[in-house]
Amino acid sequence: MEDEKKNEIRSIIQTKIGNRNFNTMDDSLFKFIFGKEERKHFTIDFLNSVLGGSLGHRINDLEFRPTEQIPSNKADKAPRFDVACRLDSGELIDVEVQIANRHNMKKRTLAYWTYMYSTGVRAGEDYEKASPAITVNILAFSIRPKPAPHSSCSIRYDDDPYEAFSEDLRLHFLEIPKFLKAARNRPFSKMTRMERWMAYFAFRSNKKKQELAMCDDVISKAYDACDVFFSSMEERMKYINSEIARMDYHADIKDAEERGEERGMERGIKIGEERGEERGEERFAKLMQILTSQNRNDDISRIITDKAYRQELFCAFNI
């Protein structure tokens, strides 16, 4: 993006922030709201709404863990968690927000979960002490064909899907586009706790934010914390720069797709022409074979220059 264009976009984003039309799924904003000790009550409330059914108990407290991981080998890849914590009951939790669909979410989730689970056991400890590990992914895109906005999975036996191999693995996915489709016109007052948190991530407009805040005190305070975030020029610039980077990324993808389509069309036309030529040569050779076998020398001379007559004979001999 050119500098002049970027400055124009910065101005637009600044105006949107002033109108409270901002993206609560932005990486830096999300970490500010859900990854800080002084605001962990938001994280606890959100996790209780998502994990309540599968966890089997209420979360009363949690302790944040480092999000920047240092691999033991320089050649290894280590995850950078958005929000990592340990619950008061011992479970390890990783919460991730993902806006851009890089088509690797399932494998990325498994890689993050594996790292989190393996680092939950200290050197010398028995594997029995390994803590259950849970990932919660908030996605601005869909990864499953099923319509449910919230899905979760664990390891089950093939011969008995009701029997779990272990409860130590559980993956949760909140697919925001599906929530928007299912609940766009439903009153916030009729939504479940988890649905309201999904609404918090889904809606950008100030009008929707006000409506949601009016019927949910916790989420109202989460929006107030967003205002604190944007009152810091450093945090505000992080948000603006990440929005511009996201626009750049989508522009590059669109450009690549358009160029790919153009090349594909050109290639398709070329292939079609080549195949047409090959087919035409085959038909002509077959017609020549028939006319030669019938000693129709005059017709052989005529089809070389008379295209209409050649087509007529193609039809006549069903070639």
- Read off the pLDDT of residues 97-136 as tens digits, 9 standing for 90 and up: 999 898 999 999 999 999 999 988 776 688 888 999 999 9
Q: Report residue 257's pLDDT band, with 50, 70 and 90 as the boundaries.
A: low
Q: How confident is the model at residue 278 (pLDDT cuts 50, 70, 90)?
A: low
The DSSP bridge pattern shows strands 160-175 and 150-157 to be antiparallel
Q: From residue 147, give the alpha-carbon distance in Å to each of 144, 170, 182, 187.
A: 8, 20, 8, 20
Distance CA 300, CA 309 (A): 11
Greatest extent of the chain over all pairs of C-alpha atoms, in Å: 98
Q: Using the predicted structure, report yes or no on whether residue 274 has a pLDDT greater than 60.
A: no
264 band by pLDDT with thresholds 50, 70 and 90: low
Mean pLDDT of the chain: 88
Task: Give the per-residue pLDDT at 294.
Answer: 80
* Residue 157 burial (10 A CB sphere; 0-12, 13-18, 19+): exposed
Confidence tier at 309 by pLDDT (50, 70, 90): confident
Provide φ and ψ at 311, rounded to 5°: -65, -35
State which H helix or E strand residue 180 sits in: helix 176-183
Check pLDDT > 80 for residue 94: yes
How do the domains of the chain map onto residue ranges?
3-231, 232-319
Task: For residue 153, give Cα distances in angstroms to 110, 232, 300.
Answer: 12, 39, 71
The pLDDT of residue 74: 65
Strand extents, DSSP E, 55-132: 62-64, 83-87, 92-98
Condensed to tens digits (0 to 9), the pLDDT of residues 165-196 reads: 998 999 999 999 999 999 888 999 999 999 99
